[in-house]
Every structure is written in C-alpha cells, then in structure tokens.
Amino acid sequence: AQSVTQLGSHVSVSEGALVLLRCNYSSSVPPYLFWYVQYPNQGLQLLLKYTTGATLVKGINGFEAEFKKSETSFHLTKPSAHMSDAAEYFCAVIIQGAQKLVFGQGTRLTINP
Amino acid sequence: DGGITQSPKYLFRKEGQNVTLSCEQNLNHDAMYWYRQDPGQGLRLIYYSQIVNDFQKGDIAEGYSVSREKKESFPLTVTSAQKNPTAFYLCASSSRITAGNTIYFGEGSWLTVV
C-alpha cells in the first residue's frame, strides 16, 4: 500500500535559519507529490506540488521541494525561516491511477526568535 | 469568491445524536472528499465522491454516511455509531484527481461530543 512518512513530528529552527522538512514515500511508480501548510484552526493550503517535468519545484512563501526518485523523497526547504512560517506542514501523495490523496502524519514547525 | 464552504465551524453533539456537517463548493469540481483530523494522526479519508450520485468509503468510514445528490454539495453525517467523533473535519474538492490535480480544502468544522 502506498504510504507517506514525514520524519520528525516537530521541528524547531531559529528565525533566519534553513528550514528542512523531510518526506519519503513508498511506491513502485513515481507518484504525484504535494506539500500543504495548515495554520491553527484553518484548512490546508497548497504550498507546491510535483506531477511531471522539472524535479525542483518552487512554491509559495519561498518554499521549494525536490523530487528524488532514487531516494523516494520529496523534502521541503526554505533558505531563511520567518516567524510567519510557524505552522503544521503535510506531505501527501497520489499514486498514479489512484483516486485519493494520502497524507503523512504532519510536522509542526516552530520558529524561535 | 470561488471556494469551499463548510458549516458550522463549531458544533456540539450529545452522545447518541446524529449530526450533519455541510460542505458546498462553487469550483465546478467533480470530486469531493471528507477527511478527519486528530492530533498526531494527520488526515484520514472518510468518504470520497468522484461524481454525482456515487461515492466510496475511505479508510475510516464506519459510523459516517454521505450523500452526493448535487455536484456542489457533499454533506457528511456523523452517526451515533461513531465511537469517538470529537475531531476536526475537513471537506475538500478537486477536478479529476488521477491527473494529479490539486485538492482544495475548506476551513474545517470542529465537532465536540458533550
């Protein structure tokens, strides 16, 4: 069965530091990959997604992610953290041909001043 | 504005009662979804519908029911058979998901059993 693993349920970085949130998936075929962000008591907002083409994907708010097929990974990065980045982040996948989006457990990002 | 509207935002239910959460979208999307969110467990799929008058069970459908009589509406009923219904419920929609189209989410509804 397809699955998504986010390493680290809680990540804490200093303001201005690099943000790295890890996501690995299990699938024998390249999936469609997504990162969503959720602020408290709100729905999910799409940050970026990979379907085909260039493996480095740029999203909103300065985030980017790179699809690495050999590592079955889709890690999310941002060069310099801002206080407004504090939120919960979800990695999700759709296996090609499937009809549902499967989520990882989420990573709560805290930014220290 | 185009989007997904969930109501109510907060709902309290007595044990033994059924409650219905509303979800309406004006994005002209064919597919709609209901997810449940619990702390530390991510989002789990309850039901989804790819087309009007058709829907499928997700991973945690027991104790829930849905209908899809109109393209824009996908209400979720939490029945008394759901043992632990207190959670945050998210409705979502998309155009054809098999093409990797984005799933868009509503603002969510909090259900608390009292």
| Residue A14: predicted pLDDT | 97
Amino acid residing at B112: T
| Residue A30: predicted pLDDT | 75
**Contact present, A59 and A100 (Cβ < 8 Å):** no
| Residue A94: predicted pLDDT | 86
| Residue A106: predicted pLDDT | 94
Q: Strand A107-112 and strand A10-14: pairing?
A: parallel
What tens-digit pLDDT sequence spans chain B (114 residues)? Answer: 679 999 999 999 888 899 999 999 999 999 999 999 997 778 999 999 999 999 999 999 999 999 999 999 999 999 988 888 999 999 999 987 777 788 999 999 999 988
The closest of B96, B80, B100 to B20, measured between CA atoms, is: B80
* B90, closest residue in chain A (CA to CA): A43
Please write the tens of the pLDDT for every residue from A74-111. 999 999 999 999 999 999 998 766 778 889 999 999 99
| Residue A1: predicted pLDDT | 58
The closest of B37, B22, B86, B90 to A43, measured between CA atoms, is: B90
User: Which residues, at least 6 apart from A45, have a Cβ–Cβ distance to it below 8 Å?
Assistant: A36, A37, A38, A39, B105
Residue carrying the six token digits 């799409």: A46
Which residues from A are below 8 Å from B36, CB to CB?
none
Closest approach of chain A CAs to the CA of B89, in angstroms?
9
Q: Which residues of B28-54 are buried (b: 16+ CB within 10 A; e: fewer)?
A: ebbbbbbbbbeeeebbbbbbbbbeeee
| Residue A29: predicted pLDDT | 76
Closest approach of chain A CAs to the CA of B84, in angstroms?
19
> Would you call A31 helix, strand, or coil by DSSP?
coil
Average pLDDT over residues A9-21: 97
Rounded distance between C-alpha atoms, residue A25 and residue A41, angstroms: 27
Which residues from A are below 8 Å from B54, CB to CB?
none
| Residue B26: predicted pLDDT | 96
Amino acid residing at B98: T
Cβ contact B98–A97 (<8 Å): yes
Facing B42 at nearest CB: one of A34, A43, A106: A106
Angle (CA) A30 B59 A97, round 5°: 30
Rounded distance between C-alpha atoms, residue A111 and residue B15, angstroms: 40
Average pLDDT over residues A40-44: 88
Closest approach of chain A CAs to the CA of B79, in angstroms?
23
Closest approach of chain A CAs to the CA of B107, in angstroms?
4
Residue carrying the six token digits 């990695």: A91
Q: Would you give the DSSP letter of residue A28?
A: S
* Partner B contacted by A103 (CB < 8 A): yes
Cβ contact B33–A101 (<8 Å): yes
Please write the tens of the pLDDT for every residue from A17-40. 999 999 999 887 778 999 999 998
| Residue A96: predicted pLDDT | 67
Q: How confident is the model at residue A3 (pLDDT cuts 50, 70, 90)?
A: confident
Question: Which residues of chain B have a Cβ shorter than 8 Å from any chain A Cβ?
Answer: 4, 31, 33, 35, 40-45, 48, 50, 56, 58, 90, 92, 97-100, 102-108, 110
B3: number of Cβ within 10 Å: 14
